[in-house]
Amino acid sequence: MNYILRGVLISVMLVAFSACVTVSDVKKIKLGHALDQSHPVHKAMMFLAERAAEKSGGKLQISVYPSQQLGTERELLELLQIGSLGMTKVSSSVLEGFTPIFKVFSLPYIFRDDEHKFKVFEGEVGQEFLLSTEKFWMRGLCFYDAGSRSFYTKSKPVITPEDLTGMKIRTQESATSVKLVNALGGSATPIAWGELYTALQQGVVDGAENNPPSFYISHHYEVCKYFSIDEHTSVPDVLLISTEVWEDLTPQEQKWIQESATESYEYQKVLWLQSTAEALEAVKKAGVKVVYPDKAPFVAKVQDLLEEFKSEPEVYDVIMKIKGVK
């Protein structure tokens, strides 16, 4: 009886995590991610699903599972690699562990402005990033803008890098992000996103860094009453598809998926601008003091980080390519 029950459970799990199921010529693909349903990136992925269904006449059905329903970002990537999940969205910082060039996005002040950033995402350099993950059984379809990351803290605002001295600052699970915060004088503390609210409440960390919409949607503004817009990094999100699923699609289906992803990227850029403005207004009304420190001292403090990558030719070459985009 135990063997029978175990077999039933395994069968149920396989169905639950089937990356792509074909029923009556309809291909059903699961897309899991960690963000809240109100997040502009989630809305962009819902738009992607709608466009794929429209383009294919209903032959491609993408079901979106938000809020870590299918696992954390790391777990979703692992499911993607083994072909048990069709698509996912992760922060590019998480991809550092697979493809070293993704470290570049966690470097401070790598982009001159938004126009420069979008030219990188949409051009040859961006395509090089997206396809660099294929050898790890996942293919990048597009970037999603995640704005710029800035510090938010509990006890005092960050006006200069010296204000970070003695502060425990939550970072993503990214070696480059850790180096950045430490270089600025803080004490970097990697913590999973889903555990951060409690960590802030309990004093495990004194602050964190992220973009305005994430600061607002996560309700971290309830604990942190200072938001310092220093915009030290612009770390995009990346939409990925399992290569096992991608290769199972016909060339026409691949075209539909890629077109839908690109259109969702353009749609998300507009949503992001609106969401950022709304988030800043909302946190101000909630009593958060939003400050705009002089960026020059922050830029000066982290210049050595770029020079460190001269010892990694592949990464340094990409840094130079990004700087060369006009």
CATH number where 59 lies: 3.40.190.170
Q: Give yes or no: residues 101 and 228 share one domain.
A: no
Give the pLDDT of residue 10. Answer: 38
> Which token pair is 220?
């971290």
* 230 and 246 both lie in a single domain: no
Strands 138-144 and 168-171, by their bridges, are unpaired
Would you state the structure tokens that stand for residue 75, as one six-digit string? 């777990």
Domain total for the chain?
A: 2
258 and 121 both lie in a single domain: yes
Q: How far apart are CA 240 and CA 167, in angstroms?
A: 35
Indicate the Cα dihedral angle 67, 68, 69, 73, nearest 10°.
140
Same domain, residue pair 32 and 117 = yes
Which residue segment(s) compose the domain that 226 sits in? Answer: 149-234+279-324
Q: Please calculate the CA angle 326-44-274 and round it to the nearest 5 degrees.
A: 70
DSSP secondary structure string for all residues of 120-186: HHHSHHHHHHHHTTGGGTEEEEEEE----EEEEESSS---SGGGGTT-EEEE-S-HHHHHHHHHTT-
User: Tokens representing 11?
Assistant: 């069968």
Tell how far CA 164 is from the center of its chain.
24
Determine how β-strand 207-210 pairs with β-strand 149-153.
antiparallel
Q: What is the DSSP letter of 304?
A: H
| Distance between CA atoms of residues 105 and 92, nearest Å | 7
Residues 213 and 253 in one domain: no
Return the amino acid letter for 140: G
Q: What is the CA radius of gyration of the chain?
A: 20
For 127, the token pair is 């395509």
- Report the pLDDT value the prediction gives residue 17, as an integer from 0 to 100: 52
177 and 261 assigned to the same domain: no
What is the C-alpha to C-alpha distance for residues 44 and 37, in angstroms, rounded to an integer?
A: 10
pTM of the model: 0.84
Same domain? 138 vs 269: yes
Name the nearest CA neighbour of 160 among 14, 22, 296, 310: 296
Q: Hey, how many other C-beta atoms are within 10 angstroms of the C-beta on 259? A: 14
Q: Are residues 56 and 175 in the same domain?
A: no
The mean pLDDT values, 10 residues at a time, for the chain of 326 residues are 42 53 85 92 97 98 96 92 95 89 93 95 97 96 96 98 97 88 96 94 97 94 98 96 97 98 98 96 98 96 88 93 94
Contact between 236 and 175 under an 8 Å Cβ cutoff? The reply is no
Query: Could you tell me if 225 and 300 lie in one domain?
Result: yes
Instruction: Note whether 100 and 165 are same-domain residues.
Output: no
The two three-digit tokens of residue 253, written as one number? 């289906």
**Tokens 């309809």 belong to residue:** 26
Q: Are residues 75 and 186 both part of a single domain? A: no
Q: What is the pLDDT of residue 8?
A: 38
> pLDDT at position 18, please?
65
Same domain, 132 and 67: yes
Structure tokens at 101: 């060039």
